[in-house]
Chains A and B, each alone.
Chain A
Amino acid sequence: MSDLADKILDSVFPRPSPSTRLSIRGRGTTSARSDDTKDKLPHTGTTVLAFKYKNGIMFAADRKTSGGYFSIFSLEAIKIEQIAPRTVVGCAGLVADSQFIKEVLEETNSGFNSRYGFTLSVEGQVNYLVNLCRNFRFYVDPLSMGLEIQAVIGGMDFSGDFEIFEISGEGSFYKKDFTVVGSGTDHAMGVLKENRKNLIGRSLNLRESMLVAVKAIYRAGEADSGTSDIRVATPNIAVITKSGVKFIKTENVKKVVDRVLEKEV
């Protein structure tokens, strides 16, 4: 009985294991075989933040993609992506790994939804991703630190609860009320912590939340070379509410940027 049940479970719910794509990526990586890999930190030239507000969750991110410390690849990068009707992921780290996990999560979500008629819970998606990261580290590339990403996943559950999770490439995750990932974390977190009470109490409305988010990105961009300055590239903002995911129009974000610059500069 157990063999048959296990066979069926393995075919229906294959454990997130190093797939062919992963193996290729693992073998191709150049950073894995050196001795100093244990001390290696992810290159996370980005600031992505997420916090809960009155009507749901707000995500914000800068727009810069940097190549090493000296070149800028793009100032129009979109770092917040929708992966399910009510779930959003924001990534800092290697662009390739970020795109990879986004694809995997999208596939998993649509597969589960089409087979069972239910969307995956936010915790379910996080668990899946965490398992993938751990398996990657253990089986594909034991010498490296795993996928070079830091991610934030936020969304609304079937039950109507809003949840935010912070995930690291090695496979750890934390449930949070507000969080920042990427190289601009320290500076952006400072702004979020100034508003800690309001964020935990979910008392900010959309306008106030946008002000906090843009200000946090501004502070990060001012001090961190991996984060774009809001004067050069307008940040990306997305909100998750009971009605779904909505990306705020650039014109509207620009108005908030102007207000922040008036106060700060």
Chain B
Amino acid sequence: MTKKRMVGTVSKMSGFSYGFFEEFIMKKTEAEQRLARVFTVFIKLVPNSGYFICGGNVPFSQFSNSNFGCIIIGSSLVEINQGEDLIRRVGSRINTMFSEKDFHSTVVMDFLSRYLKANLQNMKIPQALAIEFFITDILGNLLRVHFHGDIEIDSVDSTDKDIFMTGGYDEKFRENLLRELKKAPQTIDKEKMTEFAKGIKSKFRLSHVGFVLP
């Protein structure tokens, strides 16, 4: 019996035959599942400031230079380290070719987006890199690079949104988290913020929740 394929290329996994497109969807879904309960959220405060709340079952990581700051979340420490390595690589190349001053938020965003997209679409790599980046720069832009390479750019000054999020691909988790985040402190008060982070940690049974001031 023959099965009609969606796309020409055929490979065999676990005894079943899959089309190229099906394999791609599986790879993407698997990465989404690994990022289901890992998140970074930026809470916008008036006027034009805010703070980050990050959480998940592995600790998040940060990178910064004089032009931008970046929060890296991922499904495992190994993947987060790979994310850091990617940023350092592009930084080193920029340093060699131009100068440290030219290592801007858009430069790192462009590279990460290209890399993650290529990584997901390359079917010789069996597992996608489940990491996401939240970048803030000196011009007040919020840049998000998702694990599939898509990017989102918002300006803190001109947007009406109050909450910006990466990760949290479990719909139910996301919904509950966003509901909870509406109660987030609206001033930068470290005690209140710590209290709030602890609340989220226990409510969602996460091992790491913390806040970051940009």
A contacts, CB < 8 Å to B: 1, 4-5, 8-9, 12-13, 15-16, 112, 115-118, 120-121, 123-125, 127-128, 131, 157-159
Q: Which of B89, B101, B106, B107 contacts A5 (CB 8 A)?
A: B89
- Most chain A C-beta atoms within 10 Å of own C-beta, residue among B85, B99, B111, B114: B99
B97 and A127 within 8 A (CB)? yes
A12 and B97 within 8 A (CB)? no
Known: A116-B106, A117-B106. A124 touches B99 (CB 8 A): yes
B118 and A4 within 8 A (CB)? yes
B interface: dominant SS: helix
Chain B residues with CB under 8 Å of A117's CB are 104, 106
Closest 6 CB pairs of A and B: A124-B98, A121-B101, A123-B99, A116-B106, A124-B99, A124-B102
Chain B residues with CB under 8 Å of A123's CB are 98-99, 101
Bound complex: CA of A256 vs CA of B101, how far in Å?
Answer: 38
B114 and A12 within 8 A (CB)? yes
Bound complex: CA of A160 vs CA of B46, how far in Å?
Answer: 29
Bound complex: CA of A118 vs CA of B97, how far in Å?
Answer: 16
Chain A residues with CB under 8 Å of B122's CB are 4
A157 and B82 within 8 A (CB)? no
A158 and B97 within 8 A (CB)? no
Q: Which of B102, B106, B118 contacts A8 (CB 8 A)?
A: B118
B115 and A121 within 8 A (CB)? no
Is B162 interfacial (CB-CB < 8 Å)? no
B97 and A121 within 8 A (CB)? no
A115 and B110 within 8 A (CB)? yes
- Most chain B C-beta atoms within 10 Å of own C-beta, residue among A1, A4, A8, A117: A8
Is B58 interfacial (CB-CB < 8 Å)? no
A interface: dominant SS: helix
Known: A116-B110, A123-B99. A4 touches B104 (CB 8 A): no
Chain B residues with CB under 8 Å of A9's CB are 89-90, 93, 111
Chain B residues with CB under 8 Å of A13's CB are 93-94, 97
Bound complex: CA of A125 vs CA of B97, how far in Å?
Answer: 9
Give min CB distance, A4 to chain B, whole Å.
Answer: 6
Is B36 interfacial (CB-CB < 8 Å)? no
A127 and B115 within 8 A (CB)? no
Give B133-156 interface residues, CB cut-off 8 Å to A: none
Give B160-207 interface residues, CB cut-off 8 Å to A: none
Is B86 interfacial (CB-CB < 8 Å)? yes
Residue of B nearest to A158 (CB): B101
Bound complex: CA of A1 vs CA of B101, how far in Å?
Answer: 26
Known: A13-B94, A131-B97. A1 touches B82 (CB 8 A): yes
20 other A-B residue contacts (CB within 8 Å) besides A4-B115, A13-B97: A1-B119, A5-B89, A9-B93, A9-B111, A12-B110, A12-B111, A13-B94, A16-B97, A112-B102, A115-B110, A118-B107, A120-B102, A121-B99, A121-B101, A124-B98, A124-B99, A124-B101, A124-B102, A127-B97, A158-B101
